[in-house]
Structure 1
């Protein structure tokens, strides 16, 4: 075998190995590119799922927040409506006059006086503007005298100096009791609530 033949064989062998290495490298590169594309697809899909989750969470949070805000606004509107209704009732009570005011005041006075022992000296406070009415009503009682104005819509506050007892029988105190007892029904009537709260 000549030197040229040996050199040629070595070159052929080197070319063959180079082609093999090149083919293997291309296959490896294709495999790496395919894996990278699959990984990129998975990353994109996971990112899309994460974005959808975040959008869904944000939508739920905003919806929940909007519902809560609406509930607070509804409750505030109800409170204001109930307060306005209370003011209107107080105005009507304050405007009571004539026989109706006299009769209610007399009943409250009698109930208050019944809380004291006979013979006690009693002082009666009254609503501004009711002095004449109270003086007239007290003319039927011994040991009971007019004591002065009391800040209320009407009725009386009766005090005994001996026993230090005070009975508050005012239109306001009666209204407070009735209002407290009937608040749920008042609310239901104002807001026509057959429907339940959310």
Structure 2
């Protein structure tokens, strides 16, 4: 074997080895590239899923927030309507006159009177505009006297020093009781629930 043959064999072997290394390198590069692509795909899918989940959560939050805001506005509107109805009732009570006002006031004095049976001096307070009406009604009740004005829609506040009792039979107090006892029904009627 000549030196040229040995060199040629070594060169061929080196080329073969280099080709083998290059082929292994390309194969390894393809594997790494495939793994990287798989990782990238997985990362993209995970990121997309996270974004989709975040979008869904944000949508749910906004939807819940919008529903809550709408509910609050509905409740506020209902409160406003109920307040307006209450104001209308109060206005009508203030506007009562004649026989109706006298009959209602007399009933309220009678109802309060049960607390003051046997009292010699009973003071009755009422709306300033009702002073004449109260004087007229109280003429039928011995020991009862108009004692001054009371800020109310009508009706009476009755008290006696002897019994240390005070009865608030104003239109306001009666309206408050009726309003509280029937608020659910009033609301149902107004808002067709």
**Same fold, judged at TM 0.5 (above):** yes
Deviation, 1:119, is 3.3
State yes or no: 1:40 paired with 2:59. no
Q: TM-score, normalised by structure 1?
A: 0.95
Of Structure 1 and Structure 2, the greater helix share is in 2
For residues 156 and 100 of structure 1, the distance between their equivalents in structure 2, rounded to whole angstroms, comes to 15
For residues 154 and 179 of structure 2, the distance between their equivalents in structure 1, rounded to whole angstroms, comes to 16
For residues 178 and 78 of structure 1, the distance between their equivalents in structure 2, rounded to whole angstroms, comes to 19
Task: Provide the alpha-carbon RMSD of the alignment.
Answer: 0.9
Aligned to 2:27: 27
Q: Secondary structure of the equivalent of 1:130?
A: helix
Deviation sequence 1:27-48 (CA, Å, 0-9, x none): 1111111111111111111111
Count of paired positions = 193
Task: Flag structure 1 segments of 5+ consecutive residues without an equivalent.
Answer: 194-198
Aligned to 2:65: 65
Q: Secondary structure of the equivalent of 2:41?
A: helix
For residues 168 and 5 of structure 1, the distance between their equivalents in structure 2, rounded to whole angstroms, comes to 130
Task: Flag structure 2 segments of 5+ consecutive residues without an equivalent.
Answer: none
Q: TM-score, normalised by structure 2?
A: 0.97
For residues 49 and 8 of structure 1, the distance between their equivalents in structure 2, rounded to whole angstroms, comes to 60
Q: Secondary structure of the equivalent of 1:115?
A: helix
Deviation sequence 1:34-68 (CA, Å, 0-9, x none): 11111111111111111111111111110010000
State yes or no: 1:7 paired with 2:7. yes
